[in-house]
Amino acid sequence: MTEQKWLTRFIFLESVAGVPGMVGGMLRHLRSLRRMKRDNGWIETLLEEAYNERMHLLTFLKLAEPGWFMRLMVLGAQGVFFNGFFISYLLSPRICHRFVGYLEEEAVITYTRAIQEIESGKLPAWEKTEAPEIAVQYWKMPEGQRSMKDLLLYVRADEAKHREVNHTLGNLNQAADPNPYAAKYKDPTKPHPNKGIANLKSTGWEREEVI
C-alpha cells in the first residue's frame, strides 16, 4: 500500500461512512414530525456523526484529488448503500446501528494499520506531510502535532467513538429510550456516556448502565 492507495481507500471509506448517520437522523426526524413528538435527542447525535464523517472526507480530499473512475465508484456505492440502508433502517434500526458499529470497527482497524505503516517507515512521504488547514481548524490541532500520523490519530479516535455510539444505540429500545449522549446524569462522578473519549467502550454501553 502506497500513500496514494491509502488515500484512495480513506476517501472511498469516508464517502460511504457519512451515509448511515444522515439516513438515521433523517428518518427519525420525519418520524418525529409525523408523530408530533420529541425524538429524545437521537437526531442531533446521528447528524453530528454524518457531519464528522464528511469532515474526514473533505480533509482527505485536500491531500488527493480522485479521478473520474473513483468518483463513479463512489456514486454507485453511495446510491446502492443509501437505498439499502434506508430500507433496512425502516425495518430494524437496532440491526442497522449494530452493523454501523462493526463498520466503524473496520475503520478503526484500517487507520490503525496506516498509522503502524507510518511508524515503521513504509510511508516515507507522509513523514513530512502536515495536516491540511481544514483539519487543523476542525480538530484544533496544536502546534507541533500536525503531522499525517497525528491526523490519522484524530480520525481514528472519531471512528472509535462512532463505534461506541452505534453499539450503544443498538442496545437501546429504539422507540422509547432517550439518547444517553444527550442526557444529563444525576451523579456526574460515575462513568457514563459522553461526547468525548474519556469513558470509551468499544462494545458500547449496555441499556442497564444508561437507563
The response to whether 14 counts as a known ligand-binding position is yes
Assess whether pLDDT exceeds 90 at residue 67: no
C-alpha 91, offset from chain centre: 22
**31 three-state secondary structure:** helix
Query: For the segment 83-116, what is each residue's pLDDT rounded down to a tens digit?
Result: 999 999 999 999 999 999 999 999 999 999 999 9
Annotated domain spans of the chain: 3-209
SS3 52: helix
- Asked if residue 167 belongs to a known ligand binding site, the reply is no
Average pLDDT score over residue span 128-146? 95
Name the band, by pLDDT with cuts 50, 70 and 90, for residue 35: very high
Does residue 105 have a known ligand-binding role?
A: no
Q: pTM for this one?
A: 0.93
More confident call, 111 vs 66: 111
Q: Which of these, 188, 189, 187, 171, lies nearest to 179 by C-alpha position? A: 171
| 127 assigned ligand-binding residue | no
**Pick the residue with more confidence: 102 or 66?**
102
Report the C-alpha gap between 195 and 182 in whole angstroms.
9
Secondary structure letter of residue 150 according to DSSP: H
CATH superfamily of 3-209: Alternative oxidase (1.20.1260.140)
Question: Residue 143, annotated ligand binder?
Answer: no
Distance CA 136, CA 146 (A): 7
